[in-house]
Amino acid sequence: MTWASWTTVGIHALPGTVRTEEIGVINGDLTIHTTWSENLAHVAVQHSGTEDWYTMVGSPVPCHSEEASRSFHQAVVEAVRGGERAKASLEELFSA
């Protein structure tokens, strides 16, 4: 089984930008973690420095290669950082 993971810490998310399955909307100083295995990218988020992780709404998404999942992780980070100014919204990214 092949897998990979990426973590980006210290992302400031504006209110209403990130939605989770477990607790709804989350904002502030966040950490985003993507794990790729079996052609799926699983994206989780937490308040930086805490222990609890939450599944981002729409996760997992199909990613057919490690490279594609790395690009997907970066696109999610940029969407969270950019809010409405991002190239793609989180909804667009997760509806692939």
**Residue 94: what pLDDT?**
81
The rounded distance, in Å, linking the Cα atoms of 12 and 30 is 6
Q: What is the pLDDT of residues 57-89, one digit of tens each?
A: 999 999 999 999 999 999 999 889 886 555 556
Contact of 55 with 94, CB cutoff 8 Å: no
**pLDDT of 43 above 90:** yes
Pick the more confident residue, 24 or 88.
Answer: 24
**Residue 92: what pLDDT?**
79
Mean per-residue pLDDT, 11-39: 93
The rounded distance, in Å, linking the Cα atoms of 38 and 50 is 28
